[in-house]
Structure 1
Amino acid sequence: MVVSKNKTSPGPTTPSRRVILLGASNLTRGISTVVETARLSWGTPLDIMSALGHGRSYGKPTRVLGRSLPGIVDCGLWQDLAARPRIDTTALVTDVGNDILFDVPPTTVITWLDRCLERLAPVTQSLVISELPLTNIAQLSTARFRLFRTILFPRSRMTLSEVNRRAEELNQKLLQLASRYQAHVVTPVRAWYGFDPIHIKMRYWPTAWAQIMKPWSQPTLVHPARGSFFRWLFLRCLIPHQRRLFGFVQRKQQPAATLPDGSQISLY
């Protein structure tokens, strides 16, 4: 796949549609599939703007393996979005549960999400929000919960019962928020997950993301996105608008890359 990085010329034609993606580890792991699904659903070229990252919070700076990112509500996506021309736009909000393990109260998480949705509502024609995987969390044993808490959130000391309680509360408030903003709500399917209760299994990425992004497809996709290791590697190696890497601040003008079909990729 031949691509250009950090160029202002868009490619064959200027994008006439925009996709905004907000999320954390699931979005990061599956970004190649998500991008391809968006292109299949909405056509090309697209202006794709995404705030994502492992362990990403919607409202507070987070650090994972020496890499620090600002909270999604405070990242550079919003300033860039305001500066870009108005075009048909759709948005996805997912991976909402991370902040629970950061010991952030559900009411605070909802406040952050409300600020994001308040900015998205005036510029989007279709807004999709995915629920928390409550069934998976409810079926966790204490031992399995402690294992994943240690691996994924080593600083957290929350108990399984407290996580369950907060997840239920956050999801209920999320549904109320979705109703207020007239967003499409997608409920995760239990079969998408394996031993890991919060991350979609790789083999289900095409099916899961096609289902999550189904409200964008008219008609419904017949064939889910095909995987591509090189597309995945390329997208994962792009530098976001701003991050701190082992103490050093790194900045990059967005879009970070332009695909051969003219689709632009901006990361925050």
Structure 2
Amino acid sequence: MVAASAAEPIQTVKIQEDNPLSPARRVILLGASNLTRGISTVVEIAKAQWGSPLDIMSALGHGRSYGKTQRVLGRTLPGITECGLWHDLDKRPQADTASLITDVGNDLLFGVSPIQVVEWIDQCLERLASVSRSLVITELPLSNLSKLPASRFRLFRTILFPSCRMTLLETGKAAEDLNDGLLKLANRYRAQVVRPDEAWYGIDPIHIKMRHWPAAWARIMQPWSKQPLAGPAKGSFFRWLWLRLLTPHYRQILGIDQRKKQPAARFADGSQISLY
């Protein structure tokens, strides 16, 4: 899946390591595998929608949990509510901020109840609402689940969530309950809600197809700006590879701690990115 994700057109991007100035505009991105796979496209659309240079702060990762430490293929990351993003956010200068919460649902297949996931999202929204001018939440792809054959569900459950024993019916009910909770939170915090388009997906019911990344992420982040994008985001293999190789604030690889002071990198336009 990762190898296929790297097939964006090549376009050179200069990235700098030293720039003491902090951008006056910020985006906060919280998510899991879709955000991780499409991060290069997301960065470009964020600049177009919210302005540049940007202070980009993102907690992401394949199989990322919103509230508990999770290990996937030998790599361990803390839950998003527990990661270093919040501490660093408190220490940074104030900035015009737009925030996104996406990829909500992984935790269900790791055995976490919808009520608990809603509590974790509530914690994130409470923190984000105090600093954000624009908040966006994506719904779960419920229509995909409702049309998914049981045999295909078992296949993807085995590949992506091998420890999960939930049935398709149980997963669908939990996803509906979680989505209802998200909508209530969005109303409470006055967040914009974006419903995923069925056309963004293929046989994989939860991961956006690569060819739809520009359109999908532009739609997801559209509430940040009153003006539509002038054109689709330009892909860059170098930018994608660079962003995927950056070291986050904290992780474990095969049980070995890795730490890196953030920002992880700065771009030539003055933007910077921090990963958690």
Amino acid at match of 1:2: K
Tell me, in whole angstroms, the C-alpha distance in 1 between the residues paired with 2:172 and 2:254.
34
Secondary structure of 2:45's partner?
A: helix
Task: Give the equivalent residue in structure 1 for 2:130.
Answer: 122
Equivalent of 1:80 in 88, 91, 108: 88
Question: Taking structure 1 as the reference length, what is the TM-score of the superposition?
Answer: 0.97
CA shift digits 1:211-238 (9 cap, x unpaired): 0000112311121211111110000000
Amino acid at match of 1:89: T
Task: Give the equivalent residue in structure 2 for 1:266.
Answer: 274
Secondary structure of 1:199's partner?
A: coil
Q: Which structure 2 segments of 5+ residues have no match? A: 1-12
Amino acid at match of 2:20: S
- Relative to 1, partners in 2 of residues 1:36 and 1:196: Cα closer, same or farther, differing over 3 Å? same
Secondary structure of 1:132's partner?
A: coil
Task: Give the aligned length.
Answer: 264
Amino acid at match of 2:14: V
**1:9 maps onto 2:9 in alignment:** no
Amino acid at match of 2:82: D
Tell me, in whole angstroms, the C-alpha distance in 2 between the residues paired with 1:75 and 1:223.
35
**1:180 maps onto 2:188 in alignment:** yes
User: What's the CA shift for 1:185?
Assistant: 0.1
Tell me, in whole angstroms, the C-alpha distance in 1 between the residues paired with 2:16 and 2:159.
36
User: What's the CA shift for 1:2?
Assistant: 2.1
Secondary structure of 1:140's partner?
A: coil
The aligned runs of 1:18-167 (5 Å cut-off) are: 18-167=26-175
User: What's the CA shift for 1:98?
Assistant: 0.5
User: What's the CA shift for 1:8?
Assistant: 5.1
Tell me, in whole angstroms, the C-alpha distance in 2 between the residues paired with 1:2 and 1:90.
25
Tell me, in whole angstroms, the C-alpha distance in 1 between the residues paired with 2:234 and 2:47.
12
Tell me, in whole angstroms, the C-alpha distance in 2 between the residues paired with 1:2 and 1:164.
44
Tell me, in whole angstroms, the C-alpha distance in 2 between the residues paired with 1:164 and 1:31.
28
Task: Give the equivalent residue in structure 2 for 1:231.
Answer: 239
Judge conservation of contact 2:19–2:270 (CA < 8 Å) in 1: no
User: What's the CA shift for 1:166?
Assistant: 0.2
Equivalent of 1:170 in 173, 178, 182: 178
Tell me, in whole angstroms, the C-alpha distance in 1 between the residues paired with 2:110 and 2:254.
21
The aligned runs of 1:190-229 (5 Å cut-off) are: 190-229=198-237
Query: Which stretches of structure 1, 4 residues or longer, exceed 2 Å deviation after superposition?
Result: 7-10
CA shift digits 1:28-67 (9 cap, x unpaired): 0000000000011122100000000000000011111110
Judge conservation of contact 2:41–2:234 (CA < 8 Å) in 1: yes
Tell me, in whole angstroms, the C-alpha distance in 1 between the residues paired with 2:265 and 2:133.
25
Secondary structure of 2:269's partner?
A: coil
Tell me, in whole angstroms, the C-alpha distance in 1 between the residues paired with 2:232 and 2:23.
22
Task: Give the equivalent residue in structure 1 for 2:4.
Answer: none
User: What's the CA shift for 1:9?
Assistant: 2.2
CA shift digits 1:96-144 (9 cap, x unpaired): 0101101100000001110111100110000000000000011111110
Secondary structure of 2:211's partner?
A: helix
Query: Superposition RMSD on alpha carbons, in Å?
Result: 0.8
Secondary structure of 2:14's partner?
A: coil
Secondary structure of 1:213's partner?
A: helix
